[in-house]
Amino acid sequence: MRYFQSIDRGLHTLLKEETAPLVLSGVEYLFPLYQRANTFPHLLEQGVAGNPDKLKAETLREKAWTLVKPAFLQAQQEAAARYQELADTERASSNSSEIVPAAYYGRVESLFVAVDQEQWGSFDPATETLQLHEPGEPGDEDLLGLAATQTLLHGGVVYAVEQAQMPAQAPLAAVFRYASI
């Protein structure tokens, strides 16, 4: 038990504010013992049973992803439903001109980004000016990537999905933490 408590303390130092699920990999009879010592709030009940030293990294990743994927998909579906619920209010938008500045200022709670799309332009935070360019011009950046990066930096959640899975007919869709002032 002391060994697993030591591992738990080390994981807290390493993972800090991480919210991704933690998947155990090891001999199955030790899972309940580690679960008792665990204080990390995102430990999955199921783990990858077997000796991880005998598995290739890719195989271990695939087995862990099988356990984690349903939780990610459920969270994504809940976020899409929340977007639909708020779509006709000031708490949600599919307008890049609203979303990019909101992401920069930390207002985006959850963001859907179409991975098969690009939107080139620039955002100047000093003047709060957003310019969209079709096609891109020298010095432009992908505004979808900028919105995603800023959302993550401010503790928001980003769902990178195909355009067909977007909750709106746009390359970006966001739920805001609060309505604009």
pLDDT tens digits, 71-124: 888 889 999 999 999 999 999 999 999 999 999 999 999 999 999 898 899 999
- 67 within a domain of the structure (yes/no): no
Listed as ranges, residues in the chain with pLDDT below 50 are none
Q: Do 93 and 49 fall within a single domain?
A: no
- 165 within a domain of the structure (yes/no): yes
Print the domain residue range for 121: 89-176
62, amino acid identity? E
Count the domains in the chain.
2
Q: Do 110 and 171 fall within a single domain?
A: yes
- 76 within a domain of the structure (yes/no): no
- 156 within a domain of the structure (yes/no): yes
CA distances from 51 to 6, 54, 56, 125, 144 (A): 21, 6, 11, 51, 41
The dihedrals phi and psi of 155, each to the nearest 5 degrees, come to: 85, 10
pTM of structure:
0.72
